[in-house]
Structure 1
Amino acid sequence: MFLISDLCAMLNAYLDEDQVSAVYHAYLFGAEAHEGQTRMTGEPYIYHPIAVARILAEMRMDENTLIAAILHDVIEDTETHKEQIAKLFGEEVAEIVDGVTKLDHIHFDNKQEAKAESFRKMILAMVKDIRVILIKLADRLHNMRTLGIMRADKARRIAGETLDVYAPIANRLGMNVMRHELEELGFKAYYPMRYRVLKESVNKVRGNRKTLVKKTQEALENRLSHEGIQCDVLGREKHLYSIYRKMQNKNLPFSEVYDVYAFRIVVDTVDSCYRALGAVHALYKPVPGKFKDYIAIPKINGYQSLHTILFSPFGVPIEVQLRTSDMHRVAENGIAAHWGYKESENNGGVIAQAKAREWLKSLLDLQQNAGDSIEFLESVKVDLFPSEVYVFTPKGLIMELPRGATIVDFAYAVHTDVGSSCVAGKINHQHAPLSTQLKNGQTIEIITAPGASPNPSWLNFVFTAKARGSIRNILKNLQRDESIALGTRLLNKCLGNVNMSVQDLSQSRIERVIKDYELNSMDELLHQVGLGNRIPQLVVRHLLPEQSDALDQARQEHGPLLNIRGTEGMVVHYGRCCHPIPGDPIVGFISSGRGIVIHTKSCKNAKDYLKQAQKWIDVEWSDDISAEFSVTLRVVVEHRKGVLATIASALADCEANIEHVVTADREDQLYSLDFTLSVRDRTHLADIMRNLRLLAIVATLTRL
């Protein structure tokens, strides 16, 4: 339990005796005002204001801030009036206490308008005097430290507010020590299970890291000492919430996030920072593109440091931050560092203060220009939470997404079904590619279609874990259904050589093979056959060992094994090396994990595959194909105006869609153009090529 005597002992380290006496006098006034009041923990209420003042004293805040911290609840919870505080402790203290009191009326709920208005009041109170929000942050921090006494649902609501609003404000003001503790406590209360699992994982690997951390630290210290640089080298422990956010935002496993060794080097001067940087780069090679100079260009909250990542001899990256002691103080306490030190001693604090004042001025401008509280909230969050993007639905609702999110991420944020049936999107009423990254203030509209399903290519650009997980889950189920269907077709074709089908197999045969393959069901066996992980001929031989000779003879005698319809989905692929189309003589190659890859028989790759007898199958095109297939034509044309338009017009007349165009080569007055087209079959392709050859501008035409 922290008492007023402990607080006064702390204050004696940096305040004058008269200033400490003024703080003690405020304590006596507050204790009398709160007489008889207790907290949920059962302790006298005055212990809470003392604890809040202690948090601020650790940041070496001035006497008026400390007095206001001790008195921050007297107007709200007692009969004390603002005028009394002004008379006893001055107008400045009274205004700060009044500002904090107004913030205590803020109650967050699910109503967007009310939440936006509450947020506006808090921001404007902060604009009036930054110390108001410093006290409120300290008040919230102590409440978070004692959150365990609260009812679970209330504790989770408070933790959510802390993570959504108070921790980001602390970050925006550069108060990293407070921000990290708010995030850790908020994380623990909001996601208790995730917090526990992550903490256990960190504890398990921490012991294995100690030796390597010690060796690296000693190597850095020895190198810097050899260069004559006085410094402190500290190993940095990664915060659980930071690890969690990185895993979530970047979709990384724990090992990749935690397996980075972090060190902080604190020196005496700016010159020593750059000298130390050269020394550590000489010791370990830097990772290209991973150096950031926040000394020359401070962060928006005034933070200054040099950041670099190095290759270590232990096979893991080393993250190093280099800063002066003044910069370190500002990095820890941000704008609060301004009050505890003289400006001549603390240039970093002056920078942080100037940055904060600049930001506060911009908030006033935003307030004057904002039409309503929601618009103000949107504008402030753009700046307050730079890692987030805020966009609007067509009905004007605000959606929050991580920076880098795309139209598809937005669709999944609205609802999983919306994302899965998405076929197109609009940004500000204009059609845009689904991969377009969103920007603040845009209005996003999603166009859906019944029966649509996610495109596997979406995984190349979606940003959010929800979208990525949903797409993978749907594709996995879709692929499983398709692979089971293909696996059934493949086994039926093989079994058909001995006048049998999958349905004719006895349960005992199926159970024996499933057991031998260590599988759980017949569907799982069909799934593996369809994916190409098991070769159908070998599976049938295992099912019917007594029919091996008949199966071999039947394969040699019978024609094509499988009809290709073009609608098999994700388990039948077409070789990009030869672009087979209906009408081409083809062969199928069983590729593990992909199913069947179709090649033309004249393809060089197919000739190599034919050497692996067990992995290729005879295939033929079905008679009822409605799909379209890609094919590439190389067209050598004369260099004239309107060449592309002429060719595009001719292709359109033939009902051929252009997928891609590449300028392959140029020689004198001739251009070589590669067109990738969608065609129905060889007959369609022949018509296209015939029409193109009739054009005067076409010199030669070949299919690649």
Structure 2
Amino acid sequence: MVQLIDIIDAIRVYNPGADVEPVKKAYAYAEKVHQGQIRRSGEPYLHHPLEVALILCGLHMDIPSIVAGILHDTVEDTVATLEEIESLFGTEVRLLVDGVTKLSQIRFRTTEEKQAENFRKMIMAMAQDIRVIMIKVSDRLHNMRTLFHLPEHKQVIIARETLDIYAPISNRLGLQQIKMELEDLCLRYLKPNVFHLINTKLEQRQTERQGEIDEIKNVILSKLHEHNINGKLYGRMKHVYSVHRKMEKQHIPFDEVHDIVGFRVIVENIQQCYEALGIIHSMWRPVPGRFKDYIAMPKANHYQSLHTTVICLHGERVEFQIRTKEMHDIAEHGIAAHWQYKEGKLVNDKDEMKFKWIRRLLQWQRELSDPTEFLDTVKLDLFADDVYVFTPKGELREFPNGSTPVDFSYSVHTNLGNSTIGAKVNGKIVPLRYKLKSGDTVEIIKQKQQRPNKDWLQFVKTSRAKAKIRQFLRSEEHDQSAAIGKNLLEKAAERTHLSLSDILSSDAVEKFAKESSYDSVEKLLVPIGYGKISAQQIVNLVLTERGAETKSPEEISVKRPQKPSSREPIKVCGMSNMLVSFGKCCNPIAGDSILGYITRGRGVSIHRSDCPRIIGLDPERTIEAEWDTSVESKRVAKIKVVCLNKPGLLAGMTDAITKQGANIAAASIKTSDDNTATNYFDVEIKDTAQLRFVMKALERISGIISVERSNG
């Protein structure tokens, strides 16, 4: 049985200066009120809360959490009252104990999945503090460890509830070890035969491959040492439930499950993570499609690591997870690794920001007095079909899976949606096409001059956003089309030595307008801009009126063209805020010499002046275009870098790019048999000057063979 000294010793490991007197006091109080109570196992009831407290110590929780862990069953199962707990241990501990007590009072009426969903919603509603969830998860873990003492039918009910609720919550909080243990324990009771079969085979595989595991460990540690990397390596077998899931998902037997063995490589800093990755890839062939960079793109629970799978000794697949010590702490302890406690409060502002969505959720749920309203709303990301994100003020909003910042902005206000120029998610700039994830905090960046883009209709998900975008486009398209129509008419007139005023004052054109049901000659500019009426057709009316030779009509069509965000400001014939698209064939950026080409259906397409595709196209459809330098913009430039295939070079290149103030939007690598690698970077660049700085910085790196701008 766990003793008080065990808990105190565990606290001293991660918090040597902690005041443990409240823990001693809580132990004495719990021992008194639980006196004579016995668990089904035959052990004194006090054994359970002490085990819970020890689990909390393993999560490096603060003193109030550990005290509440010791006391968490006192109000429900003894004569203790919340008032007494508050008088003895303070308001903070009372709130924690009260939160856990309320969670414990939830009961299912049926075993259907709907009840599990309701419980998922209610679990956050009942939490006055996120630490309540940590205590409850720890409570459930110990109960699962001792579940064999209960009747079989109760084992199944509790295991199903745990798998549906507590395992996903543990994952959301970053408690990976607890999540894995809960999943394995659940499988033991839900599918005992499957569990024991896989567990036995894993133990056999462990025995068979222990020598290989040790060999791999020694080889990698030696290589890391050669490169002056002080790393640690831990080998492990996959846990039973993950193997079971893979077998079910891929419909394969155990013997066909690969990468059973995994290694965790712990190094000192991020650069060494990438260097270690290069070392591993230089020794063994990586499996295509199995590399994941969770350092650059952390998971929702802030887990960070580099993941790669390689063909190792004897042709076996082995997975490596490479991370820093700090990342490892987060992977092991989840949310608690971010928290530094002082008098029960977070003291690290940066870390507090990472989990502000949790605090906002708790604030928000207090405002809802109607339980039904709360149950219908609070789902978080424990559900796959819905996404729940926060406004900067902490309001929770629900969207279909796949929704974007544009859907978010229109849900707040139509005017905000119409003026959306960009978005920040969790403090970082993201594309408007970014798919929102539950728990995201979304801040919309707006600009008064911004207008909705027809392209938005291709990626927004909500009916409200689509309706509002279409409504705005209908109201704006006349002005936009009129501007394009005017320009087309001017160009057509100039080719026949006419002026725009000659066209607009023509009786023949006025007659044509009335016969075509347009109120005035000026109203003809809109259908000309649409492409419904040819500009040359109108000019020919004037030429015929004057007895001059007409030209063959040409269909110059610009049907509902799209417009860029103001991050890509362009002036077409001196006019700002025109509807344009950008040629993917040449990817122009600010500083490039550009021109426009009037397309059919996509507005004015902007190309670099030297773009091969624009040569040979109809010159009468080219149009003057220039960058609007009054507005800052960033566009993606593609850079191709050929280099030697050696460890650390990728990290050096990414570092060189970011030091020039550029952001890498995407990257890919192709290796060759001649020990070279071709790297393709999509880099967000302000202008051609910044691009030159980036390319020169890359050229200065030892091992770089060539650097060039790539069109595609």
What is the TM-score of this pair, normalised by structure 1? 0.51
| 1:202/1:25 CA distance change after superposition, 3 Å | same
Alignment of 1:519-530 (within 5 A): none
Cα separation, 2, equivalents of 1:75 and 1:256: 51
Compute the displacement of 1:102 (Å): 0.2
Compute the displacement of 1:156 (Å): 1.1
SS of equivalent residue, structure 2 residue 307: strand
Letter of the 1:336 partner, please give it: A
SS of equivalent residue, structure 1 residue 263: strand
Alignment of 1:491-510 (within 5 A): none
| Alignment partner, residue 263 of structure 1 | 263
SS of equivalent residue, structure 1 residue 229: coil
| Alignment partner, residue 361 of structure 1 | 360
Compute the displacement of 1:125 (Å): 2.5
| Alignment partner, residue 290 of structure 2 | 290
| 1:357/1:100 CA distance change after superposition, 3 Å | same
SS of equivalent residue, structure 1 residue 148: helix
Letter of the 2:357 partner, please give it: E
Cα separation, 2, equivalents of 1:187 and 1:72: 27
8 Å contact 1:96–1:129 — kept in the other structure?
yes
Cα separation, 2, equivalents of 1:112 and 1:200: 31
CA deviation string 1:497-548 (max 9, x = no partner): xxxxxxxxxxxxxxxxxxxxxxxxxxxxxxxxxxxxxxxxxxxxxxxxxxxx
Compute the displacement of 1:50 (Å): 0.7
| Alignment partner, residue 274 of structure 1 | 274
Cα separation, 2, equivalents of 1:307 and 1:6: 36
Cα separation, 1, equivalents of 2:86 and 2:266: 43
Compute the displacement of 1:285 (Å): 2.7
Cα separation, 2, equivalents of 1:350 and 1:222: 39
8 Å contact 1:287–1:309 — kept in the other structure?
yes
Letter of the 1:38 partner, please give it: I
Cα separation, 1, equivalents of 2:141 and 2:97: 18
Cα separation, 2, equivalents of 1:308 and 1:341: 35
CA deviation string 1:115-158 (max 9, x = no partner): 544433211233x3100000000000111111111000001111
| Alignment partner, residue 315 of structure 1 | 315
Cα separation, 1, equivalents of 2:196 and 2:350: 39
Cα separation, 1, equivalents of 2:373 and 2:327: 36
What is the TM-score of this pair, normalised by structure 2? 0.50
8 Å contact 1:60–1:340 — kept in the other structure?
no
| 1:365/1:64 CA distance change after superposition, 3 Å | closer
Q: Does 1:380 align with 2:367?
A: no
Q: Does 1:325 align with 2:333?
A: no
| 1:164/1:89 CA distance change after superposition, 3 Å | same
Cα separation, 1, equivalents of 2:351 and 2:250: 30
Letter of the 2:32 partner, please give it: E
Alignment of 1:30-45 (within 5 A): 30-45=30-45
8 Å contact 1:3–1:50 — kept in the other structure?
yes
Cα separation, 2, equivalents of 1:352 and 1:158: 34
| Alignment partner, residue 125 of structure 1 | 126
| Alignment partner, residue 51 of structure 1 | 51
SS of equivalent residue, structure 1 residue 168: helix
8 Å contact 1:286–1:310 — kept in the other structure?
yes
SS of equivalent residue, structure 2 residue 218: helix
CA deviation string 1:50-95 (max 9, x = no partner): 1100000112211100111111111111122111111111101100
SS of equivalent residue, structure 1 residue 319: strand
Alignment of 1:192-271 (within 5 A): 192-271=192-271
Cα separation, 2, equivalents of 1:163 and 1:188: 11
8 Å contact 1:187–1:241 — kept in the other structure?
yes
8 Å contact 2:263–2:321 — kept in the other structure?
yes
Alignment of 1:561-640 (within 5 A): none
Cα separation, 2, equivalents of 1:67 and 1:371: 32
Aligned residues with identical type, % of pairs? 39
SS of equivalent residue, structure 2 residue 288: coil
| Alignment partner, residue 93 of structure 1 | 93
Compute the displacement of 1:365 (Å): 6.1
Alignment of 1:143-222 (within 5 A): 143-222=143-222
Cα separation, 2, equivalents of 1:28 and 1:366: 35
SS of equivalent residue, structure 2 residue 97: helix
Compute the displacement of 1:377 (Å): 6.2
CA deviation string 1:301-352 (max 9, x = no partner): 010111112232521222111101111010011102234689xxx99x9877
CA deviation string 1:32-57 (max 9, x = no partner): 11112111112211111111000001
SS of equivalent residue, structure 1 residue 314: helix
Compute the displacement of 1:97 (Å): 0.4
| 1:142/1:284 CA distance change after superposition, 3 Å | same
Letter of the 1:356 partner, please give it: F
CA deviation string 1:537-580 (max 9, x = no partner): xxxxxxxxxxxxxxxxxxxxxxxxxxxxxxxxxxxxxxxxxxxx
Cα separation, 2, equivalents of 1:17 and 1:224: 35
Cα separation, 1, equivalents of 2:215 and 2:67: 47
Compute the displacement of 1:233 (Å): 1.4
Compute the displacement of 1:357 (Å): 2.9
Cα separation, 1, equivalents of 2:366 and 2:84: 32
CA deviation string 1:162-193 (max 9, x = no partner): 11100110001100011111111111122111
Root-mean-square deviation (CA, aligned residues, Å) is 3.4
| Alignment partner, residue 648 of structure 1 | none
Alignment of 1:477-488 (within 5 A): none
Cα separation, 1, equivalents of 2:88 and 2:362: 32
8 Å contact 2:55–2:138 — kept in the other structure?
yes
Compute the displacement of 1:389 (Å): 8.2
Compute the displacement of 1:15 (Å): 3.9
Compute the displacement of 1:370 (Å): 13
SS of equivalent residue, structure 2 residue 282: helix
Cα separation, 2, equivalents of 1:18 and 1:311: 47
| 1:315/1:389 CA distance change after superposition, 3 Å | farther
Compute the displacement of 1:266 (Å): 0.2
Equivalent pairs, count: 390
| 1:377/1:307 CA distance change after superposition, 3 Å | farther
Q: Does 1:11 align with 2:11?
A: yes
SS of equivalent residue, structure 1 residue 304: coil
8 Å contact 1:178–1:333 — kept in the other structure?
no
Compute the displacement of 1:353 (Å): 5.2
Compute the displacement of 1:202 (Å): 1.7
| 1:145/1:194 CA distance change after superposition, 3 Å | same
Cα separation, 2, equivalents of 1:16 and 1:231: 26
Letter of the 1:22 partner, please give it: P
Cα separation, 1, equivalents of 2:351 and 2:166: 18
8 Å contact 1:124–1:364 — kept in the other structure?
no
Cα separation, 2, equivalents of 1:370 and 1:83: 23
| Alignment partner, residue 81 of structure 1 | 81
SS of equivalent residue, structure 1 residue 12: helix
CA deviation string 1:196-224 (max 9, x = no partner): 11112222332222222222222212211
8 Å contact 1:366–1:376 — kept in the other structure?
no
Gaps of 5+ in 2: 388-400, 403-435, 438-712
8 Å contact 2:293–2:305 — kept in the other structure?
yes
| 1:71/1:4 CA distance change after superposition, 3 Å | same
SS of equivalent residue, structure 2 residue 40: coil
| 1:378/1:215 CA distance change after superposition, 3 Å | farther
Gaps of 5+ in 1: 391-402, 405-438, 441-704
Letter of the 2:204 partner, please give it: K
CA deviation string 1:380-418 (max 9, x = no partner): 26x1254x789xxxxxxxxxxxx99xxxxxxxxxxxxxx
8 Å contact 1:49–1:69 — kept in the other structure?
yes
8 Å contact 2:259–2:318 — kept in the other structure?
no
State the structure with more CA Rg: 1
8 Å contact 1:116–1:373 — kept in the other structure?
no
Cα separation, 2, equivalents of 1:310 and 1:11: 39
Cα separation, 1, equivalents of 2:103 and 2:272: 44
